[in-house]
């Protein structure tokens, strides 16, 4: 791959040198400011696109998750990132105590490990899954 790139650069160098000598008057009129602007403008546009396509949506998502974790309260039905569904029975600083399953087994999970709060109550909590 590196050999291919070096061959391409070696072949392109004489063509670029010939084009540069043919347009030397135009390049001298353009100056270094024009060359600098022609380099910086596409980079600036690329940064703007990255901001609106990647950075801004991720910040919105992070804020939404942070607000959801701050609004947790006792008796909320939640799902953890591991897929465990439970009901919150206690909240500490960085941990949450869940009641899980039909035997009401208590579990302690990290607050950051909560994926979402379930909207409705599950009607078949006492039903055993096969």
**Which pLDDT tens digit goes with each residue over 35-45?**
888 889 999 99
Query: pLDDT tens for residues 64-84?
Result: 999 999 999 999 999 999 999
Would 1 be classed as within a structural domain? Answer: no
Q: Is 129 part of any domain?
A: no
Per the listing, tokens 């600083």 go with: 93
Q: Identify which of 116, 109, 110, 111 has the alpha carbon closest to the alpha carbon of residue 61.
A: 116
Q: Which two tokens stand for residue 37?
A: 């602007």
Query: Is residue 123 domain-resident?
Result: no
Q: Give dist(CA 56, CA 64) in Å, integer.
A: 12
3-class secondary-structure state, position 85: strand
Report yes or no on 108 lying in a domain.
Answer: yes
Quote the strand ranges of 53-103, DSSP E.
Answer: 77-80, 85-91, 95-100
* The pLDDT of residue 14: 57
Query: How many domains would you assign to the chain?
Result: 2
Structural domain contains residue 49? yes
83, 106: one domain: yes
Residue numbers of the domain that contains 41: 29-71
Same-domain pairing of 96 and 113: yes
Whether residue 6 is contained in a domain is answered as no
DSSP classification of residue 2: H
Same domain flag for 86 and 63: no
In a domain, 126, yes or no: no
pLDDT digits (tens, 9 = 90+) for 105-117: 999 999 999 999 9
Residues contacting 87, CB < 8 A, separation 6+: 75, 76, 77, 78, 98, 99, 100
């Amino acid at each position: 791959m590196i050999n291919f790139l070096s061959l391409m650069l070696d072949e392109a160098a004489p063509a670029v040198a010939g084009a540069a000598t043919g347009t030397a008057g135009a390049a001298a009129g353009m100056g270094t400011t024009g060359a600098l602007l022609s380099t910086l403008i596409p980079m600036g546009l690329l940064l703007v696109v990255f901001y609106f396509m990647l950075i801004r949506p991720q910040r919105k998502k992070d804020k939404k998750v942070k607000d959801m974790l701050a609004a947790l309260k006792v008796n909320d039905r939640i799902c953890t990132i591991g897929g465990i569904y439970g009901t919150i029975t206690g909240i500490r600083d960085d941990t949450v105590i869940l009641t899980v399953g039909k035997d009401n087994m208590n579990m302690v999970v990290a607050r950051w490990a909560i994926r979402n709060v379930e909207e409705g109550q599950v009607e078949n909590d006492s039903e055993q899954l096969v």
